Amino acid sequence: MKPQINLLIKKAQKSFSKKIMIVAVAATLIATSAFAGGEENKAKAISSLKKEFNTAKDIEWKVTDNYIKASFNWNDQQLEVFYNYDGDMIAKSRHINPLSLPIDAQQTLAKKYAGYKFDETVEYNGQEGDHYFYTSMIKENTKILLQITPEGSVSVFQK
């Protein structure tokens, strides 16, 4: 009886090994094709970036499920440009000095958020003509993200 059990175990191991191999090959093919698509999409974004910002320096790329982002220096400014997978720009932003915010916004921030300190301020331009400023402010252990319109209207974007 023991030889039969050993024979069955060996057959099961061979069958199991083949299944593991098939799964491993399939996973490798899927991962490779996904990576190749990501590289192709990134190449389109790189081409678009070179056309728009040919003197960009220190470019860092990030590929996500929804977009491709390039972070770089251009004309002494820190920019981030977002592309879709066809290489079309969908938005761009740049880090700015809080003193570049609209004056009405600066007045609102000084009154309503007295005691807060600026952490980061960004100007954002979207493909649909969206134009906003975002600033994060910190006070003790509290950090808030504010959205500011070009007219100077301030609202809480995220607490």
Contacts of 91 (CB under 8 A, 6+ apart): 81, 82, 124, 125, 126, 127, 130
CATH architecture of 2-158: Roll (3.10)
pLDDT in tens, 43-53: 888 988 999 99
Tell me what pLDDT residue 118 has: 96
Tens digit of pLDDT for each residue in 5-52?
554 455 555 544 444 434 333 333 333 334 445 577 788 889 889 999
pLDDT tens-digit profile of 109-135?
Answer: 999 999 999 999 999 999 888 999 999
Residue 23: per-residue pLDDT:
39
Adjacency order of strands within the sheet including 77-83: 57-63, 68-74, 77-83, 89-95, 117-126, 131-139, 142-148, 154-158
Amino acid 127: pLDDT: 86
